Structure 1
Amino acid sequence: MNFNLNLTQEQKLVMTQQMQLSIKLLQMSSLELQEHVDKELQENPVLEVSYAEEAHDENLKNRIDYKEFIKYLDFDKYGQRHYEKNDEEEVSPFNFISEQKSLKQDLVEQIIDLGVKDYLFPICEYIIDNLDERGYLEVSEEDISKQLNVEISIAREAIKIVQSLEPIGIAAMDLRECLKLQLERNGVLNNYLSVIIDKHLENIADNRYNLIAKSLGIELKEAQYYGDIIKSLQPKPSSGFYTGDEISYTAPDAYIKEIGSEFHILMNENLVPKLNINEIYKEIIKNENDVAAVEYVKEKINSALFLMKSIEHRKSTIYKVLEKILEIQQDFFKYGESYLKPMSLKDISESIGMHESTISRAIKDKYINTNRGTIKIKDLFTVGLSSANSAEDVSASIIKKEIKKMIDKEDKSKPLSDQAICDYLNEQGMNISRRTVAKYREEMNIKASSKRKRF
């Protein structure tokens, strides 16, 4: 062992806090960015929001009087959450009305309409309050009796009242009771259906009607008929009702609009508020008497400036990525999904001189608004499969569409196997393996041929 001093030269990338913040902002979704900016506004006193637009809106609001409200009654889009306005157009106050009646509110109103006995009403309310997000009852008869200090027969009576309400199947203890309640209300519950629900739900899911038929001593077609009835039921009674969770709306980072014969990228300038440095703090740094205050303000101003710079960098990076995507996927934006071309992160990174990891962060959880709706940028990146009949690759989405079309048209008594689908696609010049067909089928939530078979 020898001790020596050696002089070596090497390159290292040291990630500063500012660099980390810039990367972090780039990969944030629009909602996360808004939350981060809100937090910074609370924590950094030198940051302020530009209220120029809000002042304009306040002036606008002051100009609207009661008589002006009348004209909005004829505006048939007042109930919509999304609206468009020109700078000179006034905004209907009804656009901002968004009250949703919850499932529990609806059930309480039904109880009132039924005119249940006074002593039962609070018990029914207690039951309604103890429904989960599916509409199932989370407490037992015994729990209700114990918690409210009532006879178990009264608790049972209150449960029956709530179960008689709409939607059918509400306040069931579990899936099996929920299905039976629906069949009972529709007047079709019989012994066969009851036994199938109790013992054979998994067999129905796996299309094993031969086992059900053998167990019940009935014909195969009859077992399938009962299975079809059960499959038509609603396993989640609360479906379609507002259950208390706010609907989250995704704000797009950009808009891709066709103007004339060309597509243009418009960045969403309303994603975060306009940030400025408060003028008062700009004056403080000129004060040479209070060194500590000057240092503190300088630090906060630097932090604020870097935040503003990082937001602009995030915007310009997303713009560059979208510019290249638009160039590659112009046919998709014009004609639809079937014209989506295979595209990888590498394709974009090489053409705009950015690292693939930067592209990945720039598209992570980002959305764009197009004439085909609001779509996730990541969904435009599809794996390509080589085509024997063309120099171009075929995107995975096109192959999935073809697989779905074949399955929709198949003879249900002899459903197509993954191998049969694979062979057909290869005949059409799409080089694809049976394993890839199975993978795409599963991604589309389509069952295997054995589970699609009709008897």
Structure 2
Amino acid sequence: MKMDFMLNLTQEQKLIMTQKMQLSIKLLQMSGIELQEYIDKELQENPVLEAKNNEENEESTIQDRIDYKELIKYFEFDNYGSQSLGNYDNDEVSPFTFISNPTSLEEYLEQQIIELNENDYLEILCKYIIENIDARGYLPMSIEEMAKEISADVKDLQKALTIIQGLEPDGIGARDLRECLKIQLEKKEMKNEKIFKMVENHLQNIADNKYQVIARDLKITPKEAQGYGDMIKTLEPKPSRGFYTGEKVKYISPDAYIKKINDDYVIVMNESITPKLSINNLYKEIINNENDKNAVDYVKNKMNGAMFLIKSVEQRKSTIYRVLEKIIEKQKDFLDNGMNYLKPMTLKEIADELEVHESTVSRAIRDKYVYIPRGTIRIKDFFTQGVTNVLEEDVSVVNIKNEIKLLIDKEDKKKPLSDQVICDELNKKDMNISRRTVAKYREEIGIKSSSKRKRL
């Protein structure tokens, strides 16, 4: 075997991402809430960094006081409030007057148990079961598992569970969906055994609209089966709905506002997302006056980090602003007239016009929201693919989906339109679309197939 050892000189191009570049990219793709959390963390760790919030002046304080008075008058006019319409001093009026703690499902159930006046031991067992009910309102543990965990008698726990399942909301404490629906039917004093058998054996067939199959099994007419199915669909599959279950509500804060002034749309960036960042003057003096080299080096390092963060935050804001400018140029009809006027627009199209990489636009719109005159929407929702019609014009996918929904809304429910018929109708309107694409878009907007939409 011949082995040669040779040195070769090659040239290749690589992109080495510095930590600063990585941070800049990271900040760009953060949502407003994520950015707030990141800045809060940096403020704690970097003593050089300083945050300044806008202070309210006397005039705005007076205005706020007037607004609260107007708010109270509005509430009392509609019988929402209980305070009199007398004089409101500074200390008398507070927005917190109108805030109450939400009643949790656990608290609601425990209050009902107290009112039943059961013996102490049974009440303890009931409260234990309530503590194990999940966010949906179901009991994920079996009686045997609970009995073993707390060394209780199975019969006593079963009695406690029966009490729980008799409480409101209907269906609470069920072990699965079937039991949940049966409890609700029993509370409605439903006596028909057929409907209980449907719940036990045919939930999937009800979902699939297979009433012929159900009818054969239960020896009833398909129309009767459909009637029972309609009744079952009115029941609540998630008993906890409407109650506070400890899950936090996520509030959306738009990164920008698009407002119409005369015939033009202007962009106003939401400055409240981040505080105004600056460098603490005290540390500037240290660099100029401190003789300790280590202290100066430390401050310089922290100052460089703070300066780059400030620059990156401003760059993030600038990139989002530029993307929104291009969106307004292309989607003015949508902003004026609504969803049906949304034009096909891709990330690449915007990226090319801004002379940036497509990934930059993708990061700039990730988890970002914008307020428009019709409400708050995701910036991502402006971007949609299109299909080319026979006239070589782009038609937005959103518009095609709206047409599909419109056709299905108007169909004869006894003879629902097949995907092929819908396809033919759309092509009559110069939309170049296949049956398979119709099926795909129909599923994306949550509409079932024709066989599952059929009414007897």
TM-score over 0.5 for the pair: yes
Q: How much does 1:113 deviate?
A: 3.2
Write out aligned runs for 1:46-445 (5 A): 46-53=48-55, 56=57, 60=61, 73-76=72-75, 92-94=94-96, 97=99, 99-389=101-391, 391-445=392-446
Code of the aligned partner of 2:401: K
Code of the aligned partner of 2:415: K
Q: How much does 1:256 deviate?
A: 0.7
Q: How much does 1:447 deviate?
A: 1.0
Change (3 A) 1:369 1:69: closer
Q: SS of the counterpart of 2:265? A: strand
* 1:229-255 Cα shifts (integer Å, max 9, x gaps): 212211111112221111011111101
Q: SS of the counterpart of 1:233? A: coil
Q: SS of the counterpart of 2:278? A: strand
Q: Which moved more, 1:225-234 or 1:332-341?
A: 225-234
Among 18, 31, 34, the alignment partner of 2:33 is: 31
* 1:135-166 Cα shifts (integer Å, max 9, x gaps): 00123223444444443333222212221221
Q: Where does residue 452 of structure 1 map in the other structure?
A: 453
Change (3 A) 1:314 1:126: same
Code of the aligned partner of 2:75: D
Q: SS of the counterpart of 2:259? A: strand
Q: SS of the counterpart of 1:119? A: helix
Q: Which moved more, 1:189-198 or 1:149-158?
A: 149-158
Q: Where does residue 87 of structure 2 map in the other structure?
A: none
TM-score normalised by length of structure 1: 0.89
Code of the aligned partner of 2:43: L
Q: Which moved more, 1:150-159 or 1:417-426?
A: 150-159
Mapped to 2, the partners of 1:68 and 1:268 lie a distance apart of 22
Change (3 A) 1:393 1:189: farther
Structure 1: gaps of 5 or more residues: 80-88
* 1:316-346 Cα shifts (integer Å, max 9, x gaps): 0000000010111111111110111111112
Q: SS of the counterpart of 1:446? A: coil
Mapped to 2, the partners of 1:27 and 1:70 lie a distance apart of 41
Question: How many residue pairs are counted as aligned between the two chains?
Answer: 439
Whether contact under 8 Å (1:287, 1:294) holds in the other structure is no
* 1:105-135 Cα shifts (integer Å, max 9, x gaps): 2222222333333332222221111111110
Change (3 A) 1:71 1:449: closer
Q: How much does 1:9 deviate?
A: 5.4
Mapped to 2, the partners of 1:332 and 1:123 lie a distance apart of 58
* 1:319-375 Cα shifts (integer Å, max 9, x gaps): 000001011111111111011111111221222222211111111111001111110
Whether contact under 8 Å (1:72, 1:92) holds in the other structure is no
Mapped to 1, the partners of 2:295 and 2:272 lie a distance apart of 34
Change (3 A) 1:271 1:405: same
Whether contact under 8 Å (1:385, 1:396) holds in the other structure is yes
Q: How much does 1:387 deviate?
A: 2.1
Change (3 A) 1:92 1:258: farther
Change (3 A) 1:71 1:379: closer
Q: Where does residue 85 of structure 2 map in the other structure?
A: none
Q: How much does 1:189 deviate?
A: 4.2
Mapped to 2, the partners of 1:375 and 1:183 lie a distance apart of 40
Q: How much does 1:448 deviate?
A: 1.0
Mapped to 2, the partners of 1:69 and 1:168 lie a distance apart of 40
> Sequence identity, in percent?
57
Change (3 A) 1:138 1:52: same
Mapped to 1, the partners of 2:94 and 2:322 lie a distance apart of 36
Change (3 A) 1:363 1:296: same
Q: How much does 1:168 deviate?
A: 0.6
Whether contact under 8 Å (1:169, 1:237) holds in the other structure is yes
TM-score normalised by length of structure 2: 0.89
Change (3 A) 1:344 1:51: closer
Whether contact under 8 Å (1:255, 1:370) holds in the other structure is yes
Mapped to 2, the partners of 1:136 and 1:189 lie a distance apart of 24
Code of the aligned partner of 1:3: M
* 1:3 partnered with 2:6: yes
Structure 2: gaps of 5 or more residues: 81-89
Q: SS of the counterpart of 1:120? A: helix
Code of the aligned partner of 1:283: E
* 1:47-90 Cα shifts (integer Å, max 9, x gaps): 1211442x759x959x97xx9987764343999xxxxxxxxx99
Q: SS of the counterpart of 1:374? A: strand
Q: How much does 1:398 deviate?
A: 0.7
Q: Which moved more, 1:42-51 or 1:326-335?
A: 42-51
Change (3 A) 1:68 1:222: closer
